[in-house]
Amino acid sequence: MILDSFKLTGKNALVTGSSRGLGAAIALALAEAGANVALHGSQEAPNADSVAATGVRHVELVADLRYPGRCPELIAQTVAALGSIDILVNNAGIIRRAPAVDFSEADWDEVLAADLTSVFRLSQSAGRHMLAQGSGKIVNIASLLSFQGGVRVPSYAAAKGGVAQLTKALANEWAERGVQVNAIAPGYMDTDNTEALRNDPVRSRQILERIPAARWGAPEDVAGAVVFLASPASNYINGHILAVDGGWLGR
């Protein structure tokens, strides 16, 4: 049956940045599909009640991914707690807004560390396990700014452009060894990252006028796409950047 290829029963997943927003919705969706889930927070352990209610095994982990050395530790903790890592969702990230001419070196370095370097280090560490077992799924959370430049977010745009290219680079190396690496580029989502835009009546109106779906996206809109890319149903998809944007890029 085709629906069986979307099941994740017995798979072990790590979702970074799963305290709230996209990450929380993704973690719950993977659990509902049958995967055991390691939830991650940068400063404190995520609330795991909704995941626990599905009956899967879970673990709550804390690591500040701005420090690259924490990435292999997080993978090791996941493997120790769940027994393996079959699915990695690189969702954690931060954003800083300022005009490019005023953008601080500290903000540039922080965003690149959290949004790009951590994606590579986590993928590298998880990839070693996945390549050894001959299977695995890595889903990176990219952005519309993987394709566009954005406004007043130079480090975020640079990082998300890098995530898209890194996704393709890893897929080129690992696809023939049973590891699929893909990415999702969410559109304008109702999350903490877009609060400033949603509270700006002019920018909010401009954004909504361009979205054919005529609404901001919800975290649940991304969750189904992640389950697909994490499941056997996507075994022949490699290095793809899937836009979940309400039609923004086609406008």
Which residues are identified as catalytic?
Answer: 156
Task: In whole angstroms, give the CA distance from residue 92 to residue 109.
Answer: 16
Sheet of 12-15, strand order = 58-62, 36-41, 12-15, 87-90, 136-141, 179-186, 241-244
DSSP string for residues in 75-135: HHHHHHHHS---EEEE---------GGG--HHHHHHHHIIIIIHHHHHHHHHHHHHHHHT-
Signed CA dihedral, 19, 82, 168, 165: sign only:
positive
Return the half-sphere exposure (C-beta side, CA atoms, 13 A cut-off) of residue 117: 16
Structure-token match 């990252």, residue found: 193
**Residue 194 corresponds to which tokens in the numbers above?**
């877009």
